[in-house]
């Protein structure tokens, strides 16, 4: 029953963020608005399925992550500050709730890297906030993810903004510590 409650709450939170994204895209980006509306419909359908299946003993259906990520990716391609910030907030929520699948983590980190290179300080800080809140089991998933994360932190490390630079340094240290811990565990098991 607790899992149902958590899924329903996740659906409500993501749907709210996507509605805000839809609102921001309604005039300038009708295609993105359309994809976002599709994602909202999928989330509503998912929430209804969760609520009906949650009463029984069956397993919960998968969250419609692909549709949500598609809308977020398209929105971020606009490089419009408000749209990107709403998208990153939604992405942060998905990461925090650990909804991302292993195969999507590299895509998400690459998306954040693209946004970080834009040079917008508030976007860079939002990207750093998202990275720092990402659980280590996601950031250390495989070599590709670690490599992309290091590239992203390097881009942010080179920022002329002191806050971004110092937070990126802390992120690099945190990543190095996680890698060292993982290596120590692997060495002790060998």
| CB-based contacts of 139, cutoff 8 Å, min separation 6 | 131, 145, 146, 149, 175, 178
Predicted local confidence at residue 57, as pLDDT: 57
Which has more pLDDT, 54 or 142? Answer: 142
Neighbours of 50 (CB within 10 A): 21
Reduced to 3 states, what is the DSSP secondary structure of residue 26? coil
For residue 135, the model assigns a pLDDT of: 78
- Asked whether the predicted pLDDT for residue 70 surpasses 80, the reply is yes
The token duo for 103 is: 């195969």
């Amino acid at each position: 029953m607790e899992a149902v409650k958590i899924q329903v709450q996740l659906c409500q939170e993501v749907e709210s963020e996507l509605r805000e994204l839809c609102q921001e895209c309604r005039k300038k980006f009708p295609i993105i608005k359309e994809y976002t509306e599709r994602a909202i419909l999928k989330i509503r359908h998912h929430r209804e399925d969760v609520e009906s299946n949650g009463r029984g003993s069956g397993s919960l259906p998968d969250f419609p992550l692909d549709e949500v990520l598609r809308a977020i990716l398209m929105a971020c391609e606009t490089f419009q500050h408000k749209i990107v910030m709403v998208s990153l907030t939604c992405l942060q929520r998905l990461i925090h709730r650990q909804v991302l699948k292993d195969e999507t983590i590299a895509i998400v980190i690459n998306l954040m890297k693209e946004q970080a290179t834009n040079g917008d300080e508030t976007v860079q800080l939002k990207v750093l906030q998202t990275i720092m809140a990402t659980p280590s089991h996601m950031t250390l998933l495989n070599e590709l993810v670690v490599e992309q994360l290091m590239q992203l932190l390097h881009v942010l490390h080179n920022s002329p903004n002191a806050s971004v630079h110092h937070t990126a340094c802390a992120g690099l240290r945190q990543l190095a510590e996680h890698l060292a811990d993982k290596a120590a565990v692997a060495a002790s098991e060998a």
